[in-house]
Structure 1
C-alpha cells in the first residue's frame, strides 16, 4: 500500500525521514512531496540587530526557519568570527526562548542555550516567558515568518513584555508541487 506525505523530508537516525522509516516498518511505501518553500528576507537587518545584544533582553524563536535565518546571517567569515568571539557569549547571557525540540536543537548548533522547548506552542511559550516575572527594560528580539500568528505578541503585550519583531522569512507554495503531484499520481494510477 502507498502513502503520500505532503511534507518536507527530514533526516532521522539512519538518514531517512522518520515517517518514511516508520511506515516502511509496517509494510507501507511512503512518498514525500514538499508543499512549502521559504524565502529568507531582511537578513542584513537581522544581523545588525544581532550585533547589538545590549539593545535586547533576549531572543525568541518559534520556528526552525527563524534559527536558519540567523545561521544564514553568520555564513560570511567576518560575521562568523564576530559571532564566535563575542556576540555568542553576549547573547548567551540573556534568555533564548524556543518552541519545540527541533528549534532548540538548531539554537544549540548556534552555541546558545535555550529554554521553553517543551512549551509546545507560541501561546504556552508566552505564558512561560510571563511566568518569569521579569521587568524588561528592553525588548525581546523575535525573528519570525511572514505568516506568524499574533498569539505570542498579543500575550506579551498584555503582560507589558516589550517585543521587537523582524520578519526573516516568507512562506510560499513549493514551486514544484504541481509537477511532483502530477508525477506521483501518474505513477500510482
Structure 2
C-alpha cells in the first residue's frame, strides 16, 4: 500500500528520509512531497541577540527552521570565532526544544537541549513554567510568522518574560501543486496521507479534494501531532492516525494500526 508524506525532507542529505525508511519496514511504499518553503527575515536582529546571552534567561526552539536561522547568524557573523565562548554561556542557561529533530539540530550548534520529550509547544510551555523563576531575564524565542500562541500565552499568564523574534516566513512550496498532481496521476489514491503541520493542511487540502473527489473518505489521514490533527478535524476530516510522539517510529506504528483495522477505530 502507498502512503503520501506531506512534509519537509530530513535536514541531513545522508540516507533515506526516516519516515520513508520506517514505513518500508512494514511493507508500505511512502513518497515524500515537500509542502513548505521558507524565507528568513530579521537575521541581523536575531544575531545581535544570539551573541548577547547575558541579556536573556535562556533559549526556546519549537521548529527546526528557527535553529537553522540561528545557524545562519553564527556562520555569517563577524563574531563567528566567538561562538565557542558564547555557546557555553547559553549552555549555562536552559535551551528548550520540542521534538527530536529540533533537538538534534540544536546539538549540532554545540548547545544542550532540554525538553525534547515534550513533543508539543503546549507541553513544553508547562515544563518551562515548572522550571523557571519569573524573575529571570527574558527567554529568547526565535519563531516563524505562523507560530501558535499557546507557548507565549502560557508563559505570559505565568509571569515569565519572553522575547519572541520572527525569523522566518512560511509559504507553500513553489512546486507543490505540480508534484501532488503528478503523484496522483502516476500512483493513484494512496491508502494514507500524513500531514506534518497545520500549514501543510492549509496549503494542500483543497487540491487533494479536487484530485480525489468523493473518494476522500477512503483515505486514512495521519497527523504527526495534536495541533496538526486539530487542523484536519477543523476541515471536517477524520484523523485515523495520530502519532503518540512526533517520531518516524510512532507515526509508522499509528498508520499501520489504522490500515490493518479497516474502517473502524483503532
TM-score by length of 2: 0.65
CA distance in structure 2 between the partners assigned to 1:112 and 1:90 by the alignment: 10
Q: Are 1:122 and 2:155 matched, yes or no?
A: no
1:74 aligns to what SS in structure 2? helix
Matches for 1:150-189 after TM superposition, within 5 Å: 150-188=149-187
Query: Partners in 1 of 2:129 and 2:27 — Cα distance?
Result: 47
CA distance in 2, matches of 1:106, 1:174: 22
Q: Distance in 2 between matches of 1:20 and 1:155?
A: 35
Is contact 1:11-1:17 (8 Å) kept? no
For structure 1, the residue ranges without an aligned partner over 5 or more in a row are: none
Partner residue in 1 for 2:76: 76
Give the alignment of 1:122-141 within 5 angstroms.
122-141=121-140
Pairs within 5 Å for 1:1-189 = 1-10=1-10, 15-76=15-76, 78-84=78-84, 86-188=85-187
TM-score by length of 1: 0.90
**Number of equivalenced pairs:** 187
The structure-2 alpha-carbon separation of the partners of 1:62 and 1:11, relative to structure 1 and needing over 3 Å to count, comes to closer
Using the TM superposition, name which of 63-72 and 176-185 deviates more.
176-185
> How much does 1:77 deviate?
6.4
Answer with 21-30 or 99-108: which moved more: 21-30
Q: Provide the aligned C-alpha RMSD in A.
A: 1.9
Report which structure shows greater RCO (CA 8 Å, sep ≥6): 1
